[in-house]
Structure formats: structure tokens, C-alpha cells
């Protein structure tokens, strides 16, 4: 059933919800702004109402993937379906495997399997944005921070609000880092530093 959970998670994650919502607002997110079908580009091209709608729907997809994976294969299914949903969002079948950056859907996945880490991760993300003034760099810092938090949570066996504080959290954190990091690295100034 793990394989079924992964397939279901990928299909849920690959639903082109941001593009569909953009059309309702009269915006082609893949042709405007950064070309990324995600919350930040929605904010830049059409304002906060579209951005909020994209974020909510993306998070709901992540939560739904976790829920479906849990029904199919328990905690392991929830983690694997969540990771597959991120992969479906980032490497989207409907966009020829060029999708979003996966942050919105990741919030929904964390809300489903590890809700008590959401606040620390969001604090790290906001502080990193303020300091670096780069959403790409801040995202990389938050992704690295999640891996550190997973190690601490497992070591001290703190409650997660979702799955057991076991090695599954490390699988989730490392898996998210592997799937998400490239696009955020590509779009961060760390990859192409500005000349002095």
C-alpha cells in the first residue's frame, strides 16, 4: 500500500491548482512575473487575494495527501505520500515536470504530520527573509533548519502533534530538503553572487 500512497500523493500534489486559480483572476502565472505558479508570484502579479487563495489551496493539497497516505499505509504512508505530493508539485506532470517551488504544499504536509514544528519553521523563514532580503535564500535556511529541528525532536522525543517522534521525521526533513533545495538554490543570490 506504500506504493499506492506514493502515487496518490504525487497525483494530489500535481493538481495544477495555482494555474487554475490564476485563470479565475485573469492571470497566467506561468507567463507573468517569475513564471512560477506559486504564492509569491501570485502576490506580485495579482495581489494578496490570489496569493492567499493559492497558499490555502496548496496547503490543503499537502494536508489531503498526508491524510490519504495515512489511511492507506499509516504513519509511513503519510510521510511518503507527503513527500510524493511535494515532488508532484515541484516536478509537475501537467507542466512537463516543471512546477512550483513546493513551499505552500509543504506547509500543509507539516500541518498534517508535524504541526508543532510549523511555528519554529515560520519564525526561521521570516527572520531569514528580513536578514537576507531573498525568498530563495530564506527558504534554503528554513529547509536546513527543519532538518536540524527534526534531529532535536527525535533526540528528545518531543511530541509532534502528529506522527511519532521517530526516524520518520528525519526521513521527512531530508526528503523535503532533497526535493525542494535545487529550485530555491537556483533562484537565490547564493548561486550567482552579485559583483562587488
Q: Report pLDDT digits (tens) over 31-70.
A: 888 778 888 889 888 899 999 999 999 999 999 999 999 9
165 vs 115: CA distance, rounded Å: 12
Q: Which residues contact 84 (CB under 8 A, 6 or more apart)?
A: 5, 6, 7, 8, 9, 10, 13, 65
Query: pLDDT tens, 72-100?
Result: 999 999 999 999 999 999 999 888 888 88
Closest CA to 5 of 60, 59, 62, 72: 72
Given a contact cutoff of 8 angstroms between Cβ atoms, the answer to whether 195 and 118 are in contact is: no
Q: Where are the domains of the chain?
A: 2-186
pLDDT greater than 50 at residue 160: yes
Q: What's the start-to-end Cα distance of the chain, in Å?
A: 54
98 vs 100: CA distance, rounded Å: 7
77 vs 109: CA distance, rounded Å: 12
Q: Which residues contact 123 (CB under 8 A, 6 or more apart)?
A: none
pTM: 0.91
Angle at 63 between CA 69 and CA 7, to 5 degrees: 35
Per-residue confidence (pLDDT) for residue 11, from 0 to 100: 97
Per-residue confidence (pLDDT) for residue 188, from 0 to 100: 60
Number of Cβ atoms within 10 Å of the Cβ of 13: 32
Amino acid at each position: 500500500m506504500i506504493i499506492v500512497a506514493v502515487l496518490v500523493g504525487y497525483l494530489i500534489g500535481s493538481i495544477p491548482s495555482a494555474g487554475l486559480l490564476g485563470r479565475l483572476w485573469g492571470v497566467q502565472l506561468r507567463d507573468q512575473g517569475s513564471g512560477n505558479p506559486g504564492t509569491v508570484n501570485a502576490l506580485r502579479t495579482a495581489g494578496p487575494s490570489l496569493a492567499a487563495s493559492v497558499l490555502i489551496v496548496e496547503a490543503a493539497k499537502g494536508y489531503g495527501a498526508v491524510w490519504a497516505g495515512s489511511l492507506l499505509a499509516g504513519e509511513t504512508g503519510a510521510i511518503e505520500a507527503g513527500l510524493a505530493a511535494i515532488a508532484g508539485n515541484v516536478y509537475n506532470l501537467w507542466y512537463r515536470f516543471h512546477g512550483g517551488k513546493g513551499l505552500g504544499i509543504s506547509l500543509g504536509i507539516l500541518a498534517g504530520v508535524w504541526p508543532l514544528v510549523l511555528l519554529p519553521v515560520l519564525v526561521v523563514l521570516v527572520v531569514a527573509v528580513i536578514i537576507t532580503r531573498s525568498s530563495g535564500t530564506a527558504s534554503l535556511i528554513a529547509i536546513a533548519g527543519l532538518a536540524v529541528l527534526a534531529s532535536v525532536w527525535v533526540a528528545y522525543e518531543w511530541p509532534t502533534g502528529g506522527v511519532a517522534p521517530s526516524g520518520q521525521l528525519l526521513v521527512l526533513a531530508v526528503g523535503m530538503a532533497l526535493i525542494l533545495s535545487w529550485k530555491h538554490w537556483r533562484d537565490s543570490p547564493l548561486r550567482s553572487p552579485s559583483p562587488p
